[in-house]
């Protein structure tokens, strides 16, 4: 990994590792001068006189542990503000509450299944209109915007087919229209590989459960913004809706950030090795990994990102039986939902993470019975490749018998 940039990608964001360790962590903010921020479990805080507090009054409204985390994430996103929530979907809910009945949301057609489910089955019941559009084609996005459009929601890379969306082009299209917000789900990339706000997005959100925490032991959402008014509106909703993370979870995620640069570099290294192995294997129909030159938007991701995460999808040759047998025979990769932890995971989107997406939509998006999604972890490269090879052998041996 070259210091000036990896394989033609953008150079790393300056001072990222230092900010991950020190931003928002100043020992001077604690009477004990603790180097590691303590966990503040208190739900309430003493006031010197009625209405005179030292910055905190009730833990839903603000908490020292959450404040530390929010400051750190804001720095890593190159943002002015960050807000933490109880989950990624809680963050999505809060953003959606910026809108009113009759407003329209344009959502990328290929998104996390939970986002699709929330917009399709919950948001519409609040009187919001939701249309799903292939935002990787900016002309499709432009054609879909109406006077009622108030929010455009994209994720890049998309989940699970890993399309890359030109954030700057989308921002330019969206901001031709007054009072339309562009939100980018940055979960797959993490702050280490992509900064949506610097590319023109109004909102950068995460399921911090994934790479930002990185240890598969916290469920959390994060939202970063630069606009003062937008922050105040979201801060009001954070307090009013109350979907906040616990102080302990804030401590855990804050700790996870300290190793984010090291983890993401290794995720990229291992994923590239896995993608190359799968692409050369005759038992695999197609590999989708933005870090490969074969990805149709490989040049785009190099223009807007500093690298690639550990997410790979591929089509195994054969049928559902081949895919299921492959997944059941994995030993190092674990058959489980979620992603972005230190451990390698594998799943079947059509049956697992995206089962709530209507079947006809799944088929149109390419989420077929032979599509497998991998979250490549931090294990030894050799062990990962051996595991994939033996599981592929087992799949074709059993299905042939």
Task: Specify which residues 155 forms β-bridges with.
Answer: 185
Q: Judge whether 185 counts as a catalytic residue.
A: yes
Which of 214, 203, 196 is closest to 82 using CA atoms?
A: 203
- Token digits for 33? 């001068």
- Token digits for 139? 């002309």
Which of 80, 77, 53 is closest to 64 using CA atoms?
A: 53
Q: Pick the catalytic residue: 103, 110, 134, 185?
A: 185
Which of 231, 250, 193 is closest to 76 using CA atoms?
A: 193
- Token digits for 50? 């009625």
In whole angstroms, give the CA distance from residue 116 to residue 356.
8
Q: Judge whether 163 counts as a catalytic residue.
A: no
Q: Pick the catalytic residue: 195, 210, 263, 362?
A: 210
- Token digits for 128? 């919001």
Number of H helices, E strands in the chain: 14, 12
* Burial of 125: CB neighbours in 10 Å, binned 0-12, 13-18, 19+: exposed
Secondary-structure percent of the chain, ordered helix, strand, coil, rounded to 5:
40, 15, 45
Q: Judge whether 210 counts as a catalytic residue.
A: yes
3-class DSSP state for residue 123? helix
Q: Pick the catalytic residue: 56, 81, 85, 112?
A: 112
Hey, which residues are catalytic here? 60, 112, 185, 210
């Amino acid at each position: 990994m070259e210091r000036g940039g990896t394989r033609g990608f953008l150079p790393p964001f300056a001072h990222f590792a230092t900010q991950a360790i020190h931003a928002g962590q100043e020992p001077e903010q604690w009477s004990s001068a603790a180097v590691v921020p303590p966990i503040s479990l208190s739900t309430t805080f003493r006031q010197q006189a009625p209405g005179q507090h030292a910055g905190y009054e009730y833990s839903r409204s603000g908490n020292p542990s959450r404040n530390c985390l929010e400051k750190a994430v804001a720095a890593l996103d190159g943002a002015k503000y960050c807000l933490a929530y109880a989950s990624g979907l809680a963050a999505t809910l809060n953003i959606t509450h910026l809108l009113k009945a009759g407003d329209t949301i344009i959502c990328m057609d290929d998104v996390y299944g939970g986002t699709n489910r929330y917009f399709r089955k919950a948001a519409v019941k609040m009187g919001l209109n939701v249309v799903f559009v292939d935002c990787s084609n900016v002309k499709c996005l432009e054609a879909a915007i109406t006077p009622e459009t108030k929010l455009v929601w994209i994720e890049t890379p998309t989940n699970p087919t890993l399309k890359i969306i030109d954030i700057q082009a989308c921002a330019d299209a969206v901001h031709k229209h007054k009072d339309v917000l562009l939100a980018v789900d940055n979960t797959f990339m993490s702050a280490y590989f992509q900064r949506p706000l610097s590319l023109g997005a109004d909102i950068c959100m995460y399921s911090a459960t994934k790479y930002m925490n990185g240890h598969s032991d916290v469920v959390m959402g994060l939202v970063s913004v630069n606009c003062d008014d937008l922050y105040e509106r979201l801060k009001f909703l954070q307090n009013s809706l109350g979907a906040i993370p616990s102080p302990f979870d804030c401590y855990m995620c804050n700790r996870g950030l300290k190793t984010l640069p090291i983890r993401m570099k290794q995720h990229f290294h291992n994923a590239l090795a896995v993608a190359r192995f799968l692409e050369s294997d005759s038992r695999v129909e197609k590999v989708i990994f933005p870090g490969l030159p074969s990805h149709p938007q490989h040049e785009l991701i190099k223009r807007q990102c500093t690298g690639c995460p550990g997410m790979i999808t591929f089509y195994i040759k054969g049928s559902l039986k081949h895919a299921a047998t492959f997944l059941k025979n994995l030993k190092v990769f674990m058959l489980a939902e979620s992603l972005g932890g230190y451990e390698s995971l594998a799943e079947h989107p059509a049956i697992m993470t995206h089962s709530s997406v209507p079947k006809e939509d799944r088929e149109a998006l390419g989420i077929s019975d032979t599509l497998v999604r991998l979250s490549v972890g931090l294990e030894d490269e050799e062990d990962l490749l051996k595991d994939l090879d033996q599981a592929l052998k087992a799949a074709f041996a059993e299905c042939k018998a």
